[in-house]
């Protein structure tokens, strides 16, 4: 009885202990989950419900030189429901300051592509971006919308002058504060411009979806386009303009909707010797990497292999075919097709034996084809007699008598002394073409006959009237 009571006590102890342990683990798990939304805003004192930034993505501009699926194949290696905010064309004191205040209220860091002239006019605005911890890129000197057409030297000047103006506004720590990120104005891309930027170690940014806030539309429309396009792709780079009042009005609603729908904001910074790039896989740089469960519509490209040493290839030898001294090719056995029949028709040997040279027992290679296999019989050169016998193919042969008859002039038929009938002369008294062989043979007192060159008679009108309807003879073509 004592042993049984002790066993029951141990069982009840472990049961209570397991329940307590499960409770502790559940509470800890729920506490961890509840703390996750606040982790993005951990560095945002006074704003416990701020959206914040979920992580900082470090990229190497030299490894991926062009990003943004609006124009390029790659984009930033973002996870699902991650968005990068970018603003162009600033700084403009009134509107840009409001954008900075809205971002600060949510503890969000964005990327600003500044114009050189704006940086020269409002250098304090550039320094505000730096002091707030945002990423600063460049956007040319004067924002030309012809980067895809202008000569490359002018494009280089726009890029270099814009960088110099922003650096001048930043001051001594410009090299540390300015990121090697660049966006072409109007996204007017050109390969020469992109190649120059890549040679300078500068990453060209496009976008994954714009909000069209540079157009004359309402702030409601800016909000609708931003949310609809983000939801359509699920992640990516959003293009906005901090100089627009409509953007200032739409931005708080955009951020509130992103937070409500579970989106996260990511800040992008360039890699440095002290800050290595975030480890990524090549497929992560695609907006929607291909899945093994989805069939692709094109086959992968075949790589171009280059054979370094072609002389290492060897020819096959007879031993590879289990035949000695060419017996596989020269002997009828075991492939004697002369004795086999298909529906009563004997099969012939695959090739004549005279096509192959005899193989010596000392030879280690396959039989060599005879020279006669590659010889073609020469056709004799055509002579004049052959050409005369053949004649032109398009014209049948003509006998000499017919040919002489065609070449001889027509015999004149004696006239009755009268002129040629009017029907043969035309209006001006001249003989009508094609009727030179038609002559009047005789004329009687009542009815006359007209004889043509071919000898067939025709009746004329009575009383010696001119003939109106004569047989028309076409001149033969000789």
Torsion, Cα 398 404 410 411, to 10 degrees, reads -130
Closest listed residue to residue 247, CA positions, set 463, 34, 100? 100
Per-residue model confidence (pLDDT) at position 21? 45
Per-residue model confidence (pLDDT) at position 389? 72
Question: When comparing pLDDT for 1 and 89, which is higher?
Answer: 89
Q: Long-range contacts: 92-98, Cβ < 8 Å, 24+?
A: 92/118, 92/122, 92/125, 92/242, 92/243, 93/122, 93/124, 93/125, 95/242, 95/243, 95/244, 95/245, 95/247, 95/248, 96/125, 96/128, 96/242, 96/243, 97/125, 97/128, 98/248
Is pLDDT at 35 greater than 60 in this prediction? no
- Full-model pTM: 0.57
Closest listed residue to residue 80, CA positions, set 54, 42, 103? 54
* Mean of per-residue pLDDT scores for the chain: 75
Is pLDDT at 303 greater than 60 in this prediction? yes
Per-residue model confidence (pLDDT) at position 360? 52
Is pLDDT at 58 greater than 80 in this prediction? yes
DSSP per residue, 364-407: -BPPPBPGGGG--PPPPPP-HHHHHHH--TTS----HHHHHHHH
Question: When comparing pLDDT for 146 and 324, which is higher?
Answer: 146
DSSP 445: S
Per-residue model confidence (pLDDT) at position 444? 43
> Which stretch of 22-36, 86-100, 354-368 has the lowest confidence by average pLDDT?
22-36
Residue 164 class from Cβ within 10 Å (0-12 exposed, 13-18 middle, 19+ buried)?
A: middle
Per-residue model confidence (pLDDT) at position 407? 58
Per-residue model confidence (pLDDT) at position 309? 59
Is pLDDT at 310 greater than 60 in this prediction? no
Per-residue model confidence (pLDDT) at position 317? 63
Per-residue model confidence (pLDDT) at position 76? 98
Phi, psi of 369 (to 5 degrees): -60, 145
Per-residue model confidence (pLDDT) at position 216? 96
Closest listed residue to residue 78, CA positions, set 267, 251, 271? 267
Q: Would you place residue 383 in the very low, low, confident or very high pLDDT band (cuts 50, 70, 90)?
A: confident
Q: Where are the domains of the chain?
A: 53-285, 316-358
Side-chain half-sphere CA neighbours of 141 within 13 A: 13
Is pLDDT at 323 greater than 70 in this prediction? no
CATH 3.30.1600.10 for the 53-285 domain, yes or no? no
């Amino acid at each position: 009885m004592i042993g049984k009571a002790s066993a029951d006590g141990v069982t009840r102890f472990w049961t209570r202990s397991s329940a307590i342990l499960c409770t502790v683990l559940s509470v800890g798990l729920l506490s961890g989950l509840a703390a996750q939304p606040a982790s993005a805003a951990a560095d945002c004192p006074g704003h416990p419900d701020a959206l914040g930034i979920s992580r900082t993505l470090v990229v190497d501009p030299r490894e991926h030189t062009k990003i943004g699926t609006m124009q390029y194949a790659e984009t930033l290696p973002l996870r699902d429901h991650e968005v990068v905010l970018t603003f162009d064309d600033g700084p403009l004191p009134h509107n840009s300051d409001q954008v900075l205040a809205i971002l600060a209220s949510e503890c969000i860091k964005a990327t600003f592509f500044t114009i050189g002239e704006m940086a020269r006019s409002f250098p304090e605005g550039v320094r505000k971006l730096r002091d707030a911890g945002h990423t600063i890129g460049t956007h040319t000197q004067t924002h030309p919308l012809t980067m895809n057409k202008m000569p490359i030297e002018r494009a280089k000047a726009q890029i270099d002058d814009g960088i110099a103006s922003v650096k001048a506004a930043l001051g001594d720590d410009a090299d540390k504060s300015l990121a090697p990120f660049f966006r072409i104005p109007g996204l007017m891309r050109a390969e020469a411009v992109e190649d120059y930027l890549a040679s300078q170690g500068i990453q060209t940014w496009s976008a994954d979806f714009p909000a069209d806030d540079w157009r004359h539309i309402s702030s409601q429309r800016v909000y609708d386009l931003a949310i609809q396009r983000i939801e359509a792709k699920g992640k990516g780079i959003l293009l906005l303009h901090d100089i627009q009042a409509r953007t200032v009005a739409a931005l708080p609603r955009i951020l509130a909707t992103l937070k409500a729908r579970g989106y996260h904001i990511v800040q992008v910074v360039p890699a440095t010797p002290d800050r290595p790039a975030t480890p990524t896989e090549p497929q992560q740089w695609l907006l929607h990497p291909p899945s093994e469960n989805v069939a692709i519509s094109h086959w992968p490209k075949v790589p171009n292999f280059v054979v370094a040493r072609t002389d290492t290839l060897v020819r096959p030898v007879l031993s590879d075919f289990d035949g000695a001294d060419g017996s596989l090719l020269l002997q009828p056995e075991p492939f004697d097709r002369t004795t086999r029949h298909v529906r009563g028709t004997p099969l012939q040997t695959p090739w004549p034996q005279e096509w192959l040279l005899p193989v010596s027992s000392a030879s280690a290679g396959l039989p060599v084809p005879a020279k006669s296999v590659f010889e073609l019989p020469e056709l004799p050169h055509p002579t004049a007699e052959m050409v005369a016998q053949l004649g032109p193919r398009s014209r049948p042969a003509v006998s000499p008598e017919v040919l002489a008859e065609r070449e001889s002039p027509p015999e004149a038929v004696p006239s009755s002394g009268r002129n040629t009938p009017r029907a043969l002369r035309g209006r001006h008294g001249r003989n009508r073409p094609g009727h030179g062989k038609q002559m009047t043979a005789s004329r009687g007192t009542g009815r006359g006959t007209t004889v043509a060159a071919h000898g067939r008679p025709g009746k004329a009108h009575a009383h010696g009237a001119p003939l109106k309807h004569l047989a028309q003879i076409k001149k033969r073509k000789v």
